Structure 1
Amino acid sequence: MKELEIITKRLRDLDDKISKKNKNRKYIKFRENVLETIKVNEILETPEVVEANTPVEKIIELMSEKNILEILVSKDEKIVGIVTLSKLLDLLRLKKNILELRAHDIVDKIIKINKKDNLSKAILIMNIHKSPCVVIFDKSKLLGIVTKAGILNKLSKIIFTKHKDEKIDEIIETKVDQLIDILKEGETNMDVLKKKLNIDEEKIEEWIDILEKQGVIEIKKSHFGKLKVKVKDVR
């Protein structure tokens, strides 16, 4: 029991540490054109990887040591999933004895994107799946991961805040959440979406296409320009 309490404290300390770091960061103001001109392969990071039978206690130690939110899991030299800090915290909230678990017990599906995709799409997909990162492969070869922190670090070097500081991922997430809320009404059209979201039609169509491909929505277009939508619960 004492070991579990120690593990719980370490996880919460890590969560607090990362939260405070993000809170104190000087966030850059969102500029859509910048997000769309930078490709994910420009900010690839080398991920931490553990074997599928690695004890959870070892994973927690590694997360704490490296100050990271995610660790990839491999089996037979292939990436089979991801373990995240949020998953570990959820298990603790459910009062699960995580000390008895191993990586393969708590692994989640990895979210893949193309190395030529831009940062705007990467952030959108991370927010759709509530994932701290996306994983990039070249065929079966792991190239690396892209994290929200990595995106912010990249953009902070080329943009300066002039007015209100805002988190890039929160701005996109807010707009996407608004879009999904509107789509949940079941039927709408592009004019309504443009007016309510204050975003151009091309961007809305891009987001709808991504949401559909990610399995978040099913959509049908009528002859009169109306969109009939079914929103799935994947969030």
Structure 2
Amino acid sequence: MFTFENVTYLDILHVPSLTIHEHQKTCIVGESGSGKSTFLKLLNHMISPSEGQILFRGKNIAERDPIAHRRDVAMLTQHPVLFGESVKDNLLAGVRFAEQEEPDENACKQAIERFRLYKSLDDEAENLSGGEQQRLALARITLMDSPVYLLDEPTSSLDEELEHEVMENFMTFAEERKKTVIFVTHSRSIAENFSDETIDFHKYTLKGEGSS
């Protein structure tokens, strides 16, 4: 699905050759500063390589419209961004961006309950804890129904038990709908239990002090 061909980004990251396969769960691991978040941003077309090219389904990402690309490749950042005031506003932000049909209230409730977030859709999102905001953001991107999901430390604010349950529920959603998932985690347990393939950034030539 993604192919890296001699990709360099500034003095942070160099990936000579790499293929990420469709419908797989790929985990990215490495020390802080090894370029993991930078890697996801490259996949999401938020930034562009200094050298080389990244192909998505055989086409150079640089030649794709960034907005259209992000409809196909949805990204959850490490620190979730809130949109609007209510839980419902935040749930619908993704589908509105993608210009998709908005789900009904029952679908919205099912989305947040999948991640053990038992809140009213009218509750104010800013009053949620960090962990609740992470789960709300996960629910939001599942409603977008994108072919590819990029997750940057999606459960970092959760305790271990809840972290495993939330990841298991997300991966079940992805498997049932044949999604491709690429995720970054510092948790060895999450990496071992929820990935088909693990990419350790230490095997690449990494230069300077990259973003984590």
- What TM-score, normalized to structure 2? 0.29
Q: Radius of gyration: which is bigger?
A: 1
**Structure with higher helix content:** 1
